[in-house]
A and B are shown apart, each in its own frame.
Chain A
Amino acid sequence: MGREVSESCVESLLTEIVSSYCNHFYANKPELAARRIEAIGYQVGHQLSERYTMDRPRFSDHLEAIKFICKDFWSELFKKQIDNLKTNHKGTFVLQDSRFRWLSHMSIDLSSESSGSAQDPSTMAESKAAQATGMYLYFPCGIIRGALSNLGIPCAVSADISSLPACKLLLLNTLRCFSR
């Protein structure tokens, strides 16, 4: 169905998006770069959800929509399904991917980042690496937020990368939508 590109092209594009926005368009303003990247992801997610729901019947409730995100949508994007889905039944969902594909080719080198300051170099290096890696999650978080928004579930999406290569996505405030 449709045209395809090689995965390495997609990965290179993602790397370049982060690099351009962080080092060029919004140099020294990581929050603005992050917001812009997330917004691009939001539009992409909106459009992809339109395409990937084309052959399906309407979702009967928003749990069905979220399951669609975890299975079919995740498979289209990342060639696998979400490994674990948790909810507190009060509007918060946690999606866990044990090996997030878009980070799988990234090496996160902690040892080369020592700065010689008084602070323990390994924690500084770790937080720098975490911050750098975190920038690559704004685009996929935006995609999921855009897809959910188009399916009638406006919410906030954030990523927890404390245990790479696993990635957890948090969906917050999913209940403040339609109440018929």
Chain B
Amino acid sequence: MIVCVAVVGHQNNPVYIQSFTEADDALKLHHIVHCSLDVVDERVNNPKKSGPTLNETFLGLLYPTENYKVRFHSAYVDAVSNPFHVPGKKITSRTFAERVSNIVKSFGLSSAG
């Protein structure tokens, strides 16, 4: 199940962060997201080690056949296309939050079987 969705900006700044369990508090989530950025950096900076996965848009291969990554990306692109959104600042769109939450819900349902 998906526990947290985060969007990180160019300067490693959090642009959107939302948890989907009751347990974790915001600070702990930020910390986990930052640690997972190390994995991303490692993949990007070590092309020989990561091999063919370097050019993949999605660096983490969890469920290669799931299209939820495309749906997240699509929701993000739409949110950023909002002329009132300031690039680099937090995403405040309720529509984006709803879409993310719906994707997480449907992911939870499809992986429960």
A pairs with B: yes
Q: Is the interface of B mostly helix, strand, loop or mixed?
A: helix
Kindly state the separation between the CA atoms of A60 and B56 in the bound complex, as whole angstroms. Answer: 11
B57 interface residue per 8 A CB criterion: yes
**B83 / chain A contacts, CB cutoff of 8 Å:** 43
Interface: B29 (CB within 8 A): no
Report whether A60 and B81 are in contact in the complex, using a CB–CB cutoff of 8 Å: no
A57 touches B57 (CB 8 A): yes
Which one of A51, A56, A57, A58 contacts B81 once the chains associate, using CB atoms below 8 Å? A51
B57 with A58: CB separation less than 8 A: yes
Say yes or no: is B45 at the interface (Cβ < 8 Å to chain A).
yes
Contact in complex: A50, B57 (CB < 8 Å)? no
- Whole-angstrom distance from the CB of B71 to the nearest CB of chain A? 11
Please report the total number of A residues contacting B with Cβ < 8 Å. 12
Contact with B along A58-86 (1 / 0, CB 8 A): 10100000000000000000000000000
Instruction: Convert A149-174 into 0s and 1s, putting 1 for each residue whose CB lies closer than 8 angstroms to a CB of B.
Output: 01000000000000000000000000
Task: Kindly identify, within residues 64 to 83 of chain B, every residue whose CB is under 8 Å from any CB belonging to chain A.
Answer: 73-74, 76-77, 80-81, 83
Chain A residues whose C-beta falls within 8 Å of the C-beta of B45 in the assembled complex: 180
Closest to B74 in A: A54
Contacts of B54 in A (CB 8 A): 58, 60
CA distance A56 to B57 in the complex (A): 7
Q: How far is the CB of A68 from chain B (nearest CB, A)?
A: 13
Which residues from 26 to 63 on chain B have a C-beta closer than 8 Å to any C-beta of chain A?
45, 54-57
Q: Mark A34-68, 1 if CB is under 8 A from B, else 0.
A: 00000000010011001100101110100000000
Instruction: Indicate if the CB atoms of A54 and B77 lie closer than 8 Å.
Output: yes
Chain A interface residues (CB < 8 Å from chain B) = 43, 46-47, 50-51, 54, 56-58, 60, 150, 180
- Give 27 A-B contacts (CB < 8 Å), ordered by A residue: A43-B83, A43-B87, A46-B80, A46-B87, A47-B80, A47-B81, A50-B76, A50-B77, A50-B80, A50-B81, A51-B77, A51-B81, A54-B73, A54-B74, A54-B77, A56-B57, A57-B55, A57-B56, A57-B57, A58-B54, A58-B55, A58-B56, A58-B57, A60-B54, A60-B55, A150-B87, A180-B45
